Structure 1
Amino acid sequence: MTATVPEPGLNQAEDRHDTAERLLRSSEELSFDPATQVDWETPLDRSYHGMSPEWSSLYGTAYWDELTEDERRELTRQESASVASTGIWFEMILQQLVLRDFYAKDPTDPAFQWALTEIADECRHSIMFARGSEKLGAPAYIPKRSVVTLGRLCAMTYSGEAAYASILVAEEVLDVMQRDWMRDERVVPFVRTINNIHVVEESRHMKFAREETRERLKGAGRLRRQYQALTVAAAAYFIVTSMWNEQIYANAGLDTQRALREARANEHHKSQLRCSCAGLMEFLSSCGLLTRPALWFYRRANLI
């Protein structure tokens, strides 16, 4: 009897094919249209927060204790819009990374079709976040010019595991905080709907990003892992530190300098960020992407 020896890489290719097909089926069965499923018509009810108060950068500080309830709610609305604006900025980078990765590849491959589905999702999410921020009464919170420039560089140069692990970083951090906000009845209902849509659809994106990160790292040597770990950590630092724009305090009517001082020293907020990244750090460690140099960036961003 002759044994059949599987071709090298065949099982991995089949697994990737099956994962992409499952994600496509899931997208067909459970996707949303924010244009019709978010309540854009009802005027903003200012008796609600824009995010769970516990996620505010000032929650737990002396300044927070001095604020009126109206001031706290306004601050969380500005903070929610700032996080959403950072999400839009990174989603535009994400789309470029995925398009470059699948450029001129087999369009009959389910992975190719899933990549286009993910890009379509991200386009809808960005419009949804933009409309949500406008309804919250917030301006466009664009990251600092230097960070925008670095984002352009990332979009042009990141590839393989660096691209997909960076995508995962942004999505994981948002996922944890938005799961809290979407269940919190203190948060304005239309924001809860936005968060629910994003959580459901991004869960598929995170699954794909994890699988692609693992796949691209197969056979990678120590030097490559060290370098890519550093690029991913740098991306994580700039994404997370851009989420709370410095202008939110002035727009909420607060003393910007005092707010910045207390926010930077706020151990409660740092703890919230670390908790949001526990699963992410475990995944990066399992992939050999949590190196000593990379840890410096994660600690600076209060992610570990």
Structure 2
Amino acid sequence: MAHSAERTPTLTPGGHGRTHSAADDDVSKRLLDSAATLSYDPATEIDWDAPLEPGHYGLNPEWSTLYGTALWSGMTEEQRVVLTRHEVGSIMATGIWFEMILQQMVLRDQYLKDPASAEFRFALTEIADECRHSIMFARACEKMGVPQYRPNQLVAQAGRAYKALARGELAYGGILVAEEVLDVMQRDWMRGENVLDIVRGTSRIHVVEESRHMKFARQEIRERLRGAGTLRRRNAAFGIAAGAYVIVTSMVHPSVYKAAGLDVARALAEARASEHRRAMMRTSSRHLMAFLAENGLLTGPSTKLYRRIHML
């Protein structure tokens, strides 16, 4: 297909006009080709019956919220193993929660669009991937003996509002935030020789398939913002940052510290004050921040929110 610069006007479900070019469609077509050749079924790719390796962590110790703190230094090795398994379980549970939000936003965005278009077909392919990922994470938590940690009631209601109200670049911006931050973490976990095989395997699957989802989200954001004015970009920037704040602060449930036999109040205080933790968060957000800045989505108010959660 020729890469024409001609753009055909389309209409989003929210009623905002947008332009869709042949080049936009080419992105979705390439992603569909990738999905056809490189996708996984966690039900058969993961050995769910294999015993957990004794002494192996749930995630690389460097990604633990307490790594490098005085509390971490005083913990037994058994406590560290238990803590990291519960931390990764909490992150997986947060992933399930946000994947439920993601699927609803994408479905709403594609409502009544042309089912023959590459964009529509990849959007549904992404939803199918997310369904498998959620089941995969739930099974991994069950295998590790970790409860399904849930966001608190206030955060749960905030998520309900976000999935109901977010449109266009705001919806895809929230999706990109969640996927980018987790992607950097999981790239380390999948290579961790002292990390549980079940975590390495699920991370590998998620990294490969989410790379397509991130490309799709970036393309949708660029497309929705073509010709957008300053006010729209500022509003989107703040909304995406607010979504990031909720996601990042909900990743590790306070109860993980209780599961490891730690004083919860002290653990929370040391995790919040950890310079190592802050550095790791900035590392995991570097590419995301560059993309947001490139697209006019890194403003003064949004920057303040990102700094509060150490993404900048």
2:190 corresponds in structure 1 to: 182
User: Number of paired residues?
Assistant: 300
**Aligned mate of 1:151, from 156, 159, 182:** 159
Cα offsets for 1:198-229 (capped at 9, x unmatched): 00000000000000000000011001111111
Matches of 2:88 and 2:193, distance apart in 1: 15
RMSD (CA atoms): 1.3
Cα offsets for 1:265-294 (capped at 9, x unmatched): 111011100110011000000110000000
State how 1:58-137 maps to structure 2 within 5 Å: 58-137=66-145
Instruction: Tell whether the 8 Å contact from 2:5 to 2:23 is kept in structure 1 after alignment.
Output: no
Whether 2:166 is the aligned partner of 1:139: answer no
| Change beyond 3 A, Cα 1:144–1:6 | closer
* Cα deviation, residue 6, structure 1: 6.2
* Cα deviation, residue 46, structure 1: 3.0
**Aligned mate of 1:250, from 234, 252, 258:** 258
* Cα deviation, residue 42, structure 1: 1.3
2:293 corresponds in structure 1 to: 285
2:271 corresponds in structure 1 to: 263
Secondary structure in 1 matching 2:190: helix
| Change beyond 3 A, Cα 1:6–1:277 | closer
Instruction: Tell whether the 8 Å contact from 1:46 to 1:73 is kept in structure 2 after alignment.
Output: no
2:281 corresponds in structure 1 to: 273
* Cα deviation, residue 9, structure 1: 5.2
Unaligned 5+ segments in structure 1 are none
Matches of 1:260 and 1:20, distance apart in 2: 42
Amino acid aligned to 1:215:
E
Matches of 1:214 and 1:137, distance apart in 2: 42
Secondary structure in 2 matching 1:277: helix
Cα offsets for 1:79-109 (capped at 9, x unmatched): 0000000000100000011000000110000
Matches of 1:33 and 1:204, distance apart in 2: 16
1:209 corresponds in structure 2 to: 217
Unaligned 5+ segments in structure 2 are 10-18
Whether 2:37 is the aligned partner of 1:52: answer no
Cα offsets for 1:54-88 (capped at 9, x unmatched): 00000000110111111111110000000000000
TM-score (normalizing by structure 2): 0.94
